[in-house]
Chain A
Amino acid sequence: MFDPQILIAGVLNGLLAGGIYVLVAVGLTLIYGVLHIINFAHGSLLMLAMYAVFFLWRLSGIDPYLALPIVVAGSFVFGYLLYRGLIGRLSHGRDENILLLTLGVSIVIDNAALLFFGGDTQTVEVPYAGDAIEIGAAFLPIPKLISFGAALLICLVLGLFMARTDTGKAIRAVARERQGARLAGIDVEKIFAISYGIGIACLGAAACLLMPTFYVTPQSGYAFVLVAFTTVVLGGMGSFVGAAIGGFLIGVTESLGGLLLGEQLGQIGISLIFILILLFKPTGLFGSKA
């Protein structure tokens, strides 16, 4: 059981699983960093995106991976409009209102999903779902390799977008200095909506990468978002690098925890790492002081 070969396999599998966590957490941390709110609708929106992937496959036969551009674009537009039409409009710029609104949106979406899609477990069937390659003792499923690579690539593109483009710079500017941004002619409300849209687009990507090996029910979002909350706090609220590293760390912890303690108890490792890190660095791995 403690054979190094098996440990390495566990680490590799954990890293691969972490890719999804990273995407979900990056979206959450972006929204937190810019809007200074916890997006309570995150899990429900992930679930909605997963259903979108499922129905695209079932009704049009579109492969989940090929659906990625459609679902990502659709998720961005959905997030943008949700902020513009509802969250931004009704919050009157007050953080606590945004908080309550996102929670309300989440409740509505969850119950609408239950009403329209039913509570049954739905899966996408793809021929490559069981394919894997073997490296030593490690047995690496192809869909997980793809999701890992795609998650890294998406983070890279997002990082470049934030560093190089005017919109990316404006997002970072608004995150820290709204008044200064307004006086530079930046439309702060629009930047909020774009940030929210990008956060949701990350969920769209995660949904496409998840569906070949996962199932969807109206409750599917929760499992991932709980982990994402942990990741965001662990990495440092609002930090991209923190969310990315935190996501992989959680993936590995979960995988090794499962290996050592059994599948049922594997999640304990996450809480343990979480408590340990916050004990020694309360701002999280890459968090700055308030």
Chain B
Amino acid sequence: MAPQRCCVLEVGSLRAGYGAIEILRGVDLTVGAGEIVALLGSNGAGKSTLNNNISGLYRPFGGTIRFDGTDIAGVASTRIVEAGLIQVPEGRRVFPNLSVRDNLELGSYRRGKPKRAQNLERVATLFPRLRERWMQPAGTLSGGEQQMLAIGRGLMGEPRLLILDEPSLGLSPLLVEEMFTLIGRLNTDGLALLLVEQNVVQSLAIAHRAYVLENGRIALSGKASELAQNPELRKSYLGH
């Protein structure tokens, strides 16, 4: 019998940072199958540090990161992508000199290659704007289009868990709305999502559960609907 798995992603007492500086001081967090989990927190709370340790860009100081029951703490990023844990990074990080199509194709460099053509079609249908810019270098795209491309590139790898790092950053209010609608749609197809955001109201509206990261520790956690009513959270993040 397969071992009991509580979740897709399970982070336990994670300590991490850069050089001698410890930024995460014991973080516990889980993402269940088919769940949207929001990770909230102000700038410098350690959100990106957490992401980058989960994605294998850095080696954590201590603690565990389990993906589908396997410990992936300190494992190379290539193998983490191969397992299906894919991050859409803050700042999009698209390949500016490559066409939209080539950017998407590289999304299936490590994983999802057999169904590349099919997935390209799926992403193009999901983002008609990308289809219009198909052969254009990604560097010439607007911020919103680049964000779509970054998400599309992530989807090309057929993720089992998609981490979205600040997908609404730098977008116009209208595009932010569109982005959250899209995130909801990705999740109705069954994709587990870890949504890392500063946009508290909209993130809580869409997520099932949420964590609030403060000074490298989880300060609050629970059902998104309950957190939205939490007076402490409202005071520090919404100002009322």
Give the interface of A toward B (CB within 8 A). 166, 169-170, 172-173, 175-177, 179-187
Of B97-105, B172-180, B223-231, the stretch lying at the interface with chain A is B97-105
Known A-B contacts A179-B89, A182-B57, A186-B78; A166 and B106 likewise in contact (beta carbons under 8 Å): yes
Give the CA-CA distance A187 to B240 in the complex, in Å.
Answer: 47
Q: Can you list 5 A-B contacts with CB-CB less than 8 angstroms, sorted by A residue number? A: A169-B106, A172-B102, A184-B109, A185-B82, A186-B78
B77, B78, B105: which contacts A166 (Cβ < 8 A)? Answer: B105
The answer to whether A184 touches B110 (Cβ under 8 A) is yes
Cβ contact of B97, chosen from A170, A176, A183, A184, cutoff 8 A? A176
The reply to whether B109 and A182 form a contact with Cβ atoms under 8 Å apart is: no
B196 beta carbon closer than 8 Å to chain A: no
Report yes or no: B95 in contact with A180, Cβ–Cβ below 8 A. yes
Check B60 for interface membership: any CB of A closer than 8 A: no
Which of B55, B93, B105, B157 contacts A177 (CB under 8 A)?
B93
B111 pairs with A185, CB closer than 8 A: yes
For B75-98 the 0/1 string (1 means CB < 8 A from A) is 011100110001111001111111
Cβ B93 vs Cβ A169 within 8 A = no
Residues of B within 8 A of A (CB): 55, 57, 76-78, 81-82, 86-89, 92-98, 102-103, 105-107, 109-111, 153, 157
The answer to whether B95 and A183 touch across the interface, beta carbons within 8 angstroms, is no
Nearest A residue to B56 via CB reads A182
Q: Given that A166-B106, A185-B77, A185-B82 are known contacts, is A176 also in contact with B87, CB under 8 Å in the complex?
A: no
B57 → A minimal CB distance (Å)? 6
Given A183-B87, A184-B81, A184-B153, are A170 and B93 neighbors across the interface (CB < 8 Å)? Answer: no
| Closest Cβ–Cβ distance, residue A267 to chain B (whole Å) | 34
A residues within 8 A CB of B97?
172-173, 175-176
On chain A, the residues within 8 Å of B106 by CB distance are 166, 169-170, 173, 181, 184, 186
With A166-B109, A169-B102 already in contact, the answer to whether A182 and B95 are too (CB < 8 A) is no
Give chain B residues whose Cβ lies under 8 Å from the Cβ of A187: 76, 78
A185 touches B110 (CB 8 A): yes
A186 to B103, CA, bound (A): 12
Q: Is the CB of A179 within 8 A of B109?
A: no
**How far does the Cβ of B166 sit from chain A's closest Cβ, in whole Å?**
14
> How many Å lie between the Cα of A91 and that of B203 in the bound state?
42
Check A184–B157 contact: CB distance below 8 A: yes
Chain A residues near B94 (CB, 8 Å)? 177, 180
Known A180-B89, A183-B77: A172·B95 in contact at CB below 8 Å: yes
State in angstroms the CA–CA spacing of A173 and B150 once bound together: 13
Q: Is the CB of B86 within 8 A of A183?
A: yes
A175 to B157, CA, bound (A): 21
Chain B residues, CB < 8 A from A173: 95, 97-98, 103, 106
Q: Are A169 and B111 in contact (CB under 8 A)?
A: no
Give the distance to chain A from B138, nearest Cβ to Cβ, in Å: 9
Chain A proximity of B147: nearest CB distance (Å): 13
| Distance of A42 Cα from B143 Cα, bound (Å) | 40
B98: chain A residues at CB < 8 Å are 169, 172-173
Tell me the nearest residue of chain B to A180, going by C-beta: B93
- With a cutoff of 8 Å between Cβ atoms, the chain A residues found around residue B78 in the complex are 182, 185-187
- A31–B134 alpha-carbon span in the complex (Å): 29
Interchain CB contact under 8 A, B89 and A181: no
- B107 contacts across to A, CB distance below 8 A: 184
Q: Which of B88, B94, B106, B110 has the most CB of A within 10 A?
A: B106
